[in-house]
Chains A and B, each alone.
Chain A
Amino acid sequence: MLQHAAKTLSLDKILYEEGLSFGIVRHYRQIQPGFIRSVDALIVQPASGREFESILRELRAMPSPEEYLKPVFIVDSPAMRQGKHFDTDGFADLEDLSGAAEKVRKIQSRIDKLGSNPSLHEGFDTEVLLKILQYIFTRQTDLQPQPNRFSNIHYHYPFASYFLAESEEQRLLSIFRMAEKKGFLKGELVDKIHCCPECGSAHQNLRATCTKCKSVDIVEEDLVHHFPCANIAPVSDFERDGHDGLHCPKCDKSLRHIGNDYDKPSSIHNCNHCHHTFQQAEYRSLCIDCGGDIELHRLEEAYIRQYQLTAKGNSVVQTGAITGGEIAGPKLTSRNDGIYNLDVFKILVKQELMRTDRPERTGTLGQVKLEGLSLADMPEARQEAITQEICQIIKSYLKNTDVVSTKGIKSYYLLMSQSTLEEADQLKDVLAYNLHQILVSNLKQKTVQVRVFMERLARQA
């Protein structure tokens, strides 16, 4: 049956081995929750390296650990040999998937040990970090950076790099630094990179330049010292057209033996652009990505490390104990302006539920979802600031007794303890329309859609 399946491989084909199902994926559009959840592992057979990356990017961005931690294999092919296997759980032999099946079982057993994900509400960086910790835990391996010329930081981290655009990988390093600081990961130095202070790219071209005009059109010449007459001049002064060897222009003698009658004590540069003479060229760096011409001392050094999970990191992923202060990700703290962090919000909801158990009491739970919001080029700090602003905008439409919380920039929760569902429904359209207008006009988010849901506060809500 397995042989037959391999021979008749097609889109959405599923192979079975030892009771495990392996979904064949050739295109990123196949990465759908239903399909991913229906198989135990994926075998990726993309047409190109780019397609491979798109598939993994889609997969790793999925919300559930069962999805984003799904074991992934590739079929050995020339296109996939260029370092792609580091991003997967290995090569799969379509003729014999027993090896892959064994790996899948191990990964699944580790996934089963994961705790719940309470911290997924703590912001993007925390979310990424938790996923990385879970990945290292389930794969029981170190996170080893792989040299990659397409990466902004020259290195690609398996699994982790897919959460960020190639131009944003500096942010990944800051996530790792945060994890090391908190004691979740232990790093071992692999390399040092030098990044542009403007755009963070490590794609730098080091050039010797003129100290005066910064031109790269400079020529270096040896200085020749003729011992008998103490003449020192650039080697070109000692060269004569049509003659081999060197000839002293001062004393008219031929230079015979370096170290004996002459030597080359140093060299000197001449700039063909401004004709400035200088001995030590100024080394500058051209940022290939942003075009910045940078003095070397301004380049920011960053460390590339390979990471392993610490005991604390192990505990965190197994107990799901990353809460509140565990990870110093961006979060909204409880405030007296009616905007609360999610943990506090949940407590308030529970209390309100107990209070509204009595029929004469009423209350409404609402959710605002921002769909189609583009965050590709938005730094985390900016996202947090916008999230706070949106919370305040929402709060401005609510009563003083209502509270707001957020699960990140895309999702907001409303607890309107003094409003009936009918009253809350009247607010839906106004809130959706005005928020949409603000996002479109202020943030140029033309594709954003604001969806508002209201539901009577009840235990099943």
Chain B
Amino acid sequence: MFNLDEFFGYWYSVGFWKITRVFWYFLTFEFVRYVGLEFFVLIVYRLNGKKRARRWEAARQALWNENPLISIIAPGKNEGKHIYKLVKSLNEQTYRNVEIIIVDDGSDDKTPIIGRSLEKAGLIDLFIRNDARGGKASGANVAMRYCKGKIVLHMDADCSFDHDAVENILVPFYMDEKIGGVGGNVKIREADTLCSKLQSIEYLKTISTGRIVTSYLGIYRIISGAFGAFRMDALRQVGGWDIGPGLDGDITVKLRKSGYRIHFEPSAVCLTTGPKKFSVLWKQRSRWSRSIVRFRLRKHRDVMLPHQNFNWSNYIGFVENIFYNIVLDFKWFVYFFDVAIHYSRFLEIILPFNLILYTITGYLQMWAIYMFSERKKQEMKLLPYVPFMIFYVALFLRSCQTLAYLRELLFKTSYKDPWNPQKSSYQAAKYGY
């Protein structure tokens, strides 16, 4: 029977160093990175709010004075049912000087009919249908080829946007001319299953606040494909998107390597639909995890090597990404075995304490999220699910990621992923992309 007095008495009696020895993984890596560093940066970010607001307003004025044409592109397969809602959502935007280009990448549903109808009705400017599926990157590239705008907004067709999202994602380009890409704040739309609710919390932590931190530190490394803006000249300079999966991270790295700054804009809010089942989520996260190995460790490993265009912020961003995603993932298992071997008799005390630590951290992070959230009431409803996050992150995601990393490291399974057509994957593998 679990005794609370015994439990707290034990941790009180063992002292600080013993606790540090047992929870070294959490205290050394996770607490320092996700609580210490993040809170520090978020506080500084908050304190700089007024100064940032003045710069923001000036940039916003500059945007409206120029009022440039913006190209909105949405490539996808079998997304027909989402296109009309997407267009309606875009029609509500405060920024209206846009052209909308939808690419149908070999859909086998009614997408072509829907797309052509909307094009004929003048709701979208160009609908491109590729009879043979070429993959998401090829869809984005063909759209880019016909974009006439100064800035390209890449989005997923199943997304919808706050009424000022497009305007807000454009403003940073007028704050700093070296910015080549801006990432939007992607949140989960309908958190109606446990799977969706846990993803909602995860997105809030890793995107809504996590990316404020990485962007502030200059190590922001992935513009979500769901909602990202790119300068057209920068996009053309890097040759557009390369074959995925993980093409959104890839193009961000390409832009950074070309000397462009990347910015995250928390006020540019986009809502997307996450997988509602853990089985579907597993596949999605496996794909994302494989892409980290494929693009960070292989394709863009030169970022971590000394060369003519070596850039410290790129280097730090890469190292942080690889360390916290891949190295710590494996190291967690080292920690697990360490505790299991050395403290096997105390597991019934250690595991609950772990749960308490992570839950307290989770609530602290949620508090930070609310400080920056525009949907406080809605996101308040997620609070009861925070204790589940340890199981979601430590068990579900970690298992999924570790397996995906291993399979990619050993077997290069990303080249066999049906997410891309085999013809493209075969050629990508052949040339080592």
Q: Do A and B come from one complex?
A: yes
A residues apposed to B, CB below 8 Å: 211, 223, 225, 227-234, 237, 250-251, 259-261, 263, 265-266, 268, 277-280
A230 contact from B120, B131, B132, B242, Cβ within 8 A: B242
A263 and B423 contacting across the interface, CB-CB below 8 Å:
yes
A278 and B132 contacting across the interface, CB-CB below 8 Å:
no
B239 and A233 contacting across the interface, CB-CB below 8 Å:
no
B431 and A228 contacting across the interface, CB-CB below 8 Å:
yes
B433 and A266 contacting across the interface, CB-CB below 8 Å:
no
Given known A-B contacts A225-B134, A250-B239, A263-B423, A230 and B141 have beta carbons under 8 A apart = yes
Across-interface contacts of A251 in B (CB, < 8 A): 239
B415 to chain A, nearest CB (A): 12
B431 and A232 contacting across the interface, CB-CB below 8 Å:
no
Kindly state the separation between the CA atoms of A234 and B141 in the bound complex, as whole angstroms. Answer: 11
A280 and B116 contacting across the interface, CB-CB below 8 Å:
yes
27 intermolecular pairs with C-beta atoms under 8 Å apart: A211-B119, A225-B130, A227-B243, A227-B428, A228-B428, A228-B430, A228-B433, A229-B243, A229-B433, A230-B135, A230-B240, A230-B242, A231-B138, A231-B239, A231-B240, A232-B139, A233-B141, A234-B145, A250-B239, A250-B240, A263-B134, A266-B128, A266-B131, A268-B128, A277-B126, A279-B126, A280-B119
Given known A-B contacts A228-B431, A230-B424, A266 and B241 have beta carbons under 8 A apart = no
B2 to chain A, nearest CB (A): 56
B106 within 8 A of A: yes
Across-interface contacts of B131 in A (CB, < 8 A): 265-266
Q: Contact string, B412-433, partner A, CB cutoff 8 A, digits 1/0?
A: 0000000000011011101101
Given known A-B contacts A225-B134, A225-B138, A279 and B129 have beta carbons under 8 A apart = yes
B134 contact from A237, A265, A280, Cβ within 8 A: A265
Across-interface contacts of B135 in A (CB, < 8 A): 230
A230 and B138 contacting across the interface, CB-CB below 8 Å:
yes
Kindly state the separation between the CA atoms of A230 and B243 in the bound complex, as whole angstroms. Answer: 6
B146 and A277 contacting across the interface, CB-CB below 8 Å:
yes
B99 to chain A, nearest CB (A): 10
Most central of A260, A261, A279 by chain B CB within 10 Å: A279
Most central of A223, A229, A278 by chain B CB within 10 Å: A229
B423 contact from A211, A227, A229, Cβ within 8 A: A227
Pairs A-B, 5 closest by C-beta atoms: A230-B137, A265-B130, A232-B142, A227-B427, A228-B427
Across-interface contacts of B288 in A (CB, < 8 A): none
Which residue from chain B places its CB closest to the CB of A280 in the assembled complex? B116
Kindly state the separation between the CA atoms of A233 and B239 in the bound complex, as whole angstroms. Answer: 12
B134 and A232 contacting across the interface, CB-CB below 8 Å:
yes
Which residue from chain A places its CB closest to the CB of B247 in the assembled complex? A230
A266 and B137 contacting across the interface, CB-CB below 8 Å:
no
B residues apposed to A, CB below 8 Å: 106, 116, 119-120, 126-132, 134-135, 137-139, 141-142, 145-146, 239-243, 423-424, 426-428, 430-431, 433
Which residue from chain B places its CB closest to the CB of A261 in the assembled complex? B427
A226 to chain B, nearest CB (A): 8
A265 and B141 contacting across the interface, CB-CB below 8 Å:
no
Kindly state the separation between the CA atoms of A265 and B134 in the bound complex, as whole angstroms. Answer: 8
Which residue from chain A places its CB closest to the CB of B133 in the assembled complex? A265
Across-interface contacts of B130 in A (CB, < 8 A): 223, 225, 232, 265-266
A232 and B129 contacting across the interface, CB-CB below 8 Å:
no
B239 and A265 contacting across the interface, CB-CB below 8 Å:
no
Across-interface contacts of B134 in A (CB, < 8 A): 225, 227, 230, 232, 263, 265
A125 to chain B, nearest CB (A): 40
Which residue from chain B places its CB closest to the CB of A250 in the assembled complex? B239
Which residue from chain A places its CB closest to the CB of B429 in the assembled complex? A228
A24 to chain B, nearest CB (A): 62
Most central of B139, B146, B428 by chain A CB within 10 Å: B146
Given known A-B contacts A223-B130, A279-B126, A279-B129, A229 and B239 have beta carbons under 8 A apart = yes
Most central of B137, B139, B141 by chain A CB within 10 Å: B141
Kindly state the separation between the CA atoms of A265 and B242 in the bound complex, as whole angstroms. Answer: 18
Kindly state the separation between the CA atoms of A223 and B138 in the bound complex, as whole angstroms. Answer: 11
Given known A-B contacts A227-B423, A250-B239, A266-B129, A233 and B145 have beta carbons under 8 A apart = yes
Which residue from chain A places its CB closest to the CB of B425 in the assembled complex? A227
Across-interface contacts of B146 in A (CB, < 8 A): 268, 277
B234 to chain A, nearest CB (A): 15
B132 and A232 contacting across the interface, CB-CB below 8 Å:
no
Which residue from chain A places its CB closest to the CB of B106 in the assembled complex? A265
B126 and A278 contacting across the interface, CB-CB below 8 Å:
yes
Most central of A223, A231, A251, A280 by chain B CB within 10 Å: A231
Across-interface contacts of B127 in A (CB, < 8 A): 279
Across-interface contacts of A230 in B (CB, < 8 A): 134-135, 137-138, 141, 240-243, 424
Kindly state the separation between the CA atoms of A260 and B423 in the bound complex, as whole angstroms. Answer: 7
Kindly state the separation between the CA atoms of A212 and B137 in the bound complex, as whole angstroms. Answer: 28
Given known A-B contacts A232-B141, A279-B126, A227 and B239 have beta carbons under 8 A apart = no
B126 and A227 contacting across the interface, CB-CB below 8 Å:
no
Which residue from chain B places its CB closest to the CB of A279 in the assembled complex? B128
Kindly state the separation between the CA atoms of A251 and B432 in the bound complex, as whole angstroms. Answer: 13
If A211-B120, A233-B142 are given as contacts, then 17 extra A-B residue pairs at C-beta distance below 8 Å, sorted by A number, are A223-B130, A227-B134, A227-B428, A231-B239, A232-B138, A232-B142, A237-B145, A250-B141, A251-B239, A259-B423, A260-B423, A261-B427, A265-B132, A278-B119, A279-B126, A279-B129, A280-B119
B100 to chain A, nearest CB (A): 13
Kindly state the separation between the CA atoms of A227 and B240 in the bound complex, as whole angstroms. Answer: 14
Which residue from chain B places its CB closest to the CB of A227 in the assembled complex? B427
B249 to chain A, nearest CB (A): 15
Kindly state the separation between the CA atoms of A261 and B424 in the bound complex, as whole angstroms. Answer: 8
Which residue from chain B places its CB closest to the CB of A234 in the assembled complex? B145
Kindly state the separation between the CA atoms of A279 and B104 in the bound complex, as whole angstroms. Answer: 12
Kindly state the separation between the CA atoms of A230 and B431 in the bound complex, as whole angstroms. Answer: 12
Across-interface contacts of A278 in B (CB, < 8 A): 119, 126
B255 to chain A, nearest CB (A): 15
Kindly state the separation between the CA atoms of A265 and B142 in the bound complex, as whole angstroms. Answer: 11
Across-interface contacts of A263 in B (CB, < 8 A): 132, 134, 423
B117 to chain A, nearest CB (A): 11
B13 to chain A, nearest CB (A): 61
Kindly state the separation between the CA atoms of A237 and B236 in the bound complex, as whole angstroms. Answer: 14
Which residue from chain A places its CB closest to the CB of B105 in the assembled complex? A265
Across-interface contacts of B239 in A (CB, < 8 A): 229, 231, 250-251
Across-interface contacts of A268 in B (CB, < 8 A): 128, 146
Which residue from chain B places its CB closest to the CB of A282 in the assembled complex? B120
Which residue from chain B places its CB closest to the CB of A228 in the assembled complex? B427
A450 to chain B, nearest CB (A): 57
Across-interface contacts of B428 in A (CB, < 8 A): 227-228
Across-interface contacts of B430 in A (CB, < 8 A): 228
Kindly state the separation between the CA atoms of A229 and B242 in the bound complex, as whole angstroms. Answer: 6
Kindly state the separation between the CA atoms of A259 and B132 in the bound complex, as whole angstroms. Answer: 11
B245 to chain A, nearest CB (A): 12
B145 and A232 contacting across the interface, CB-CB below 8 Å:
yes
Which residue from chain A places its CB closest to the CB of B236 in the assembled complex? A250
Across-interface contacts of B106 in A (CB, < 8 A): 265
Which residue from chain B places its CB closest to the CB of A224 in the assembled complex? B142
Kindly state the separation between the CA atoms of A231 and B127 in the bound complex, as whole angstroms. Answer: 18
Across-interface contacts of B240 in A (CB, < 8 A): 230-231, 250
Kindly state the separation between the CA atoms of A223 and B428 in the bound complex, as whole angstroms. Answer: 20
Across-interface contacts of A232 in B (CB, < 8 A): 130, 134, 138-139, 141-142, 145
B427 to chain A, nearest CB (A): 4
Which residue from chain B places its CB closest to the CB of A223 in the assembled complex? B142
Kindly state the separation between the CA atoms of A227 and B139 in the bound complex, as whole angstroms. Answer: 12
Kindly state the separation between the CA atoms of A229 and B240 in the bound complex, as whole angstroms. Answer: 9
Across-interface contacts of B243 in A (CB, < 8 A): 227-230
